Amino acid sequence: MLCSCILGYVVVVVQTFRDLVWLCPQCTEAVCQALPGCEENIQDSEGKQALIWLLGVHGEKIPNAPYILEDFVENVKSETFPAVKMELLTALVRLFLSRPAECQDMLGRLLYYCIEEEKDMAVRDRGLFYYHLLLVGIDEVKRILCSPKSDPSLGLLEDQAERPVNSWASDFNTLVPVYGKARWATISKCVGAEHGGSERSHTASFAVSGHLISEENKGRVQEAPDSETLMLVPNCHLTAEYFEKTWLSLEVAHQQVLPWQGEVHPDTLQMALQVVNIQTIAMSRAGSQPWKAYLSAQDDTGCLFLTELLLESENSEMQISVKQSEARTETLNSFMSVLETVIGTIGDIKS
């Protein structure tokens, strides 16, 4: 039983239980059986909030859930954490929907205290909100509070380390986890078709209004594509699936290593790349180790340039790998010149 655990670990275990039932709903029954009796060992705010959330969301499966919450209600005047009081309000209203006979009296007492006696305005406002919501009707309460109890789709984050990088890295900065790969690919194509005509003006205004690039550096970046041998088109929108398929089918045409100092700032780099019509397919978050980015661009002849940027944590080098859909040395050199200008302008590259 959870109550037999060492006191210092009970809080962490309960917080883990809350995350577990959210990610793995099949574990809910086991978690509900382990919860009774642990409330006496939880004193801090985070632990109380986790326990109260579990009792409110899954209280219909815990026989003594109303009585555990009743203990919190009886001691609400001495509770020092406003966040716990607000969590208690939400949990008790939720449990009232499934076990009204056991919760009606204590819910009334809690609402009265929060509205008439509570000094914290956030708690009082929460109490007033639920009071007026209950006056509207139970159906409206259910519509507002009966949200999903779990999200198993987030479980895909747990096993990425064991999967080939090429199978999931292209999902960075996309809504693939929400829509699924097939549906997101369709949505991306539709959005690209609808907004392709206005992309040029959007990119121009984006470059002008961006505050992350100084006027001096902005001029240097915008000068980069002014080459007689290269003109990158602004409306090249590749889906992650198409990028991955093309990337795997091509050989590396050019590799280069540039010295690098400091941390990568993804937002600034992405803004600068958009100025020169280089699109970001996927990019790691700031501070990731190793840090990666996948880029795409297309010139006016239809030649694709697919790029991988890699910054290893153990050295100060930015590795650049470029693949080209057509073997053209002159345009490849021009593209590398553009890319080096952007990275040299935005990054902390040593001269």
Domain count, the chain: 2
Confidence of residue 344 (pLDDT cuts 50, 70, 90): confident
- Asked if the structure places residue 29 within a domain, the reply is yes
Query: What is the per-residue pLDDT across 81-134, written as a single tens digit (0 to 9) for each?
Result: 999 999 999 999 999 999 999 999 999 999 999 999 999 999 999 999 999 999
* Residues β-bridged to residue 309: 293, 320
Within this chain, do residues 55 and 107 fall inside the same structural domain, yes or no?
A: yes
> With contact defined as beta carbons under 8 Å apart, do 291 and 284 qualify?
yes
Positive/negative CA dihedral, 103, 107, 108, 109: positive
Confidence of residue 316 (pLDDT cuts 50, 70, 90): confident
Percent of the chain past pLDDT 90, that is, above it, reads 31
Instruction: Collapse the DSSP code of 81 into the 3-class scheme (helix H, G, I; strand E, B; otherwise coil) and give the result.
Output: coil
> Is residue 150 scored above 50 in pLDDT?
yes
Q: Tokens in use for 248?
A: 């795997």
Q: Tokens in use for 224?
A: 């980069």
Strand ranges across the sheet with 304-311: 252-259, 317-324, 304-311, 291-298, 279-283
Most confident of 165-169, 180-184, 230-234, 260-264: 230-234
Query: What is the per-residue pLDDT across 234-264, written as a single tens digit (0 to 9) for each?
Result: 877 788 888 889 999 999 999 998 877 777 7
Q: What is the pLDDT of residue 315?
A: 63
Q: 231 lies in which domain range?
A: 163-346
Instruction: Collapse the DSSP code of 322 into the 3-class scheme (helix H, G, I; strand E, B; otherwise coil) and give the result.
Output: strand
219-233, 278-292, 316-330, 332-346: the lowest-pLDDT one? 219-233
- Asked if the structure places residue 156 within a domain, the reply is no
- Asked if the structure places residue 152 within a domain, the reply is no
Q: What is the pLDDT of residue 285?
A: 82
Q: What is the rounded distance in angstroms from the CA atom of residue 297 to the CA atom of residue 278? A: 5
Q: Quick one: angle between helices 199-209 and 266-275, nearest 10?
A: 130
CATH number at residue 168: 3.30.310.10
Q: What is the pLDDT of residue 304?
A: 92
Within this chain, do residues 172 and 122 fall inside the same structural domain, yes or no?
A: no
Q: For the chain, what's the residue count?
A: 351
Residue with tokens 């889906």: 239
Within this chain, do residues 193 and 333 fall inside the same structural domain, yes or no?
A: yes
Within this chain, do residues 115 and 263 fall inside the same structural domain, yes or no?
A: no
Determine phi and psi for 259, rounding to 5 degrees: -65, 145
- Which of 4 and 281 is assigned the larger pLDDT? 281
Show which of 85, 111, 145 is a domain's final residue.
145
Q: Tokens in use for 301?
A: 């002849």
Show which of 116, 145, 174 is a domain's final residue.
145
Mean pLDDT across the chain: 79
